[in-house]
DNA sequence: TAGAATTTTCAAAAATTACTGAAAAATAAT
DNA sequence: ATTATTTTTCAGTAATTTTTGAAAATTCTA
């Protein structure tokens, strides 16, 4: 397989995978392209390589920056903005975990706290089942939260080697 | 907050969350409804409670069964089929992890293996960056695979308490 | 085996989400 | 301050995904 074909394949698959993870196809493709690009790219480079419009590139790049996965790079003497992606996959993963925890787990747990205050007789089967579910999620969420914090704060080698030694 | 309102809120939020996780809104809502329902429900119950069509219920229920999150229940003497969801959230989580590993991680790793065989001079910057990315993902994926296996096979209390004791 | 109840399928419609491209805003150069 | 370059916005359009509902298939009953 030739390098150009392999690159295409990677971008396309990473994009398809994105849709399974609540990220839109194009955003994942831009990310893939930047990950395998040795040097920073401009909006025009990305437009050309992925065959998408300027507006589309602009919006997805902004989202990627919000996610902390892409950085603006200033090249001295150049007028245009350049963009580059974090290439260490462990850092990419922890960054995604950190963001999703903030955007999804935290608000979900806040809601569970509210819902667990529902009024009603706990001997009522409907109320009991509801509260059991909510409280189960609360407990699980609290554990997950703690573990993800540890995971995100630790460095790759320490975490993975320790974890595997112990759990395997 | 009254129980009926709380239930609605839970179903609606769980549904919205689903869309962030590559699951469609309705499928997540059906799952939410079944989790907080004390007794098994029929397709008609679900249609009525979520205000959706028969075909929609049918397809989403089937998907949930494929995911291993919902089971058909036979009630003696009843003609209709009943459905129920696993209520232990740890089991729900491990089931989802197991399925996603199979559907997403495994094929992705297979692709990385192929792509790492790309032909080209490793001193070429383009080739080197590509291979570094691919190999990084391979290494990361292998670790993740091992850890998820342990996680899925262990029981909740053992895993969470051991993990927290060690890593906190 | 015929008829009734229930489930499944799937083409068409609706709803949602993503993309384009041109105009406006911002930034830099002269 | 004017012009040139680049970035950003966003209304309209396109593409994709989800939902409906009625017909077909299946399953059960007698």
φ, ψ for residue B69, nearest 5 deg = -100, -15
- Residues (33-92, chain A) with CB within 7 Å of strand C atoms: 51-56, 59-60, 79
CA–CA separation, A10 and A36 (whole Å) = 9
Q: Where do we find the tokens 């065959």?
A: A51
CB-contacted nucleotides of strand C (7 Å): 5-11, 17-23, 28-29
Mean pLDDT over B74-87 rounds to 94
pLDDT of residue A168: 65
Residues of A in contact with B158 (CB under 8 A): none
Q: Is the pLDDT of residue B11 over 90?
A: yes
- The enclosing H or E element of A72 equals strand A70-73
Q: Please count the other Cβ atoms lying within 10 Å of the Cβ belonging to residue A155.
A: 10
Helices in chain B by DSSP H: which ranges?
3-20, 25-35, 43-50, 54-66, 89-100, 106-115, 125-153, 156-167
Mark yes or no for CB contact A126/B160 under 8 Å.
Answer: no
For A36, nearest residue in chain B (alpha carbons): B130
CB of A24 lies under 7 Å from some atom of strand C: yes
ipTM here = 0.92
CB of A75 lies under 7 Å from some atom of strand D: no
pLDDT of residue B158: 76
Q: Is the pLDDT of residue B137 over 80?
A: yes
Q: Does domain A3-85 have CATH number 1.20.120.1750?
A: no
Residues of A in contact with B115 (CB under 8 A): 1, 6, 9-10
> DSSP assignment, residue A166?
H
pLDDT of residue B152: 86
Q: Is the pLDDT of residue B25 over 80?
A: yes
- pLDDT tens for B27-74 read 999 999 999 999 999 999 999 999 999 999 999 999 999 999 999 999
Residue B168 banded pLDDT, cuts 50, 70, 90: low
Residues of B in contact with A164 (CB under 8 A): 143, 146-147
| Of B141, B163, B22, B38, residue with least CA distance to B90 | B163
- Whether the CB-CB separation of A50 and A26 falls below 8 Å is answered with yes
Interface test with B, best of A31, A92, A130 (most B CBs within 10 A): A130
Average pLDDT across each block of 10 residues of chain A; the chain has 168 residues. List them in order.
96 94 94 98 98 98 97 94 95 93 94 96 96 97 90 80 72
pLDDT of residue A153: 87
Cα of B160 to nearest chain A Cα, Å = 7
CB of B53 lies under 7 Å from some atom of strand D: yes
| Of A77, A85, A78, A67, residue with least CA distance to A24 | A67
Interface test with B, best of A104, A115, A137, A152 (most B CBs within 10 A): A115
CA–CA separation, A19 and B34 (whole Å) = 26
Mean pLDDT over B3-11 rounds to 97
Mark yes or no for CB contact A104/B20 under 8 Å.
Answer: yes
CB of A62 lies under 7 Å from some atom of strand D: yes
Nearest to B166 among A9, A133, A166 (CB): A166
Give the residue extent of every domain in chain A.
3-85, 89-167
pLDDT of residue B14: 96
- pLDDT tens for B88-125 read 999 999 999 999 999 999 999 999 999 999 999 999 99
Cα of A65 to nearest chain B Cα, Å = 18
φ, ψ for residue A105, nearest 5 deg = -65, -50
């Amino acid at each position: 397989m030739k390098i150009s074909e392999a690159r295409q394949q990677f971008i396309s698959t990473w994009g398809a995978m994105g849709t399974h993870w609540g990220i839109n196809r194009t955003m994942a493709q831009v990310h893939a392209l930047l990950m395998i690009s040795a040097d920073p790219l401009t909006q025009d480079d990305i437009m050309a390589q992925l065959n998408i419009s300027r507006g589309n590139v602009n919006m997805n790049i902004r989202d990627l920056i919000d996610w902390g996965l892409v950085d603006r790079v200033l090249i001295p003497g150049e007028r245009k903005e350049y963009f580059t992606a974090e290439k260490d996959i462990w850092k990419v993963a922890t960054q995604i975990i950190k963001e999703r925890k903030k955007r999804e787990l935290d608000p979900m747990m806040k809601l569970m706290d509210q819902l667990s205050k529902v009024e009603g007789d706990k001997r009522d089967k409907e109320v009991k089942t509801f509260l059991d579910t909510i409280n189960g999620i609360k407990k699980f969420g609290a554990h997950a939260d703690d573990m993800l914090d540890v995971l995100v704060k630790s460095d790759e080698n320490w975490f993975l080697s320790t974890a595997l030694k112990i759990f395997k």
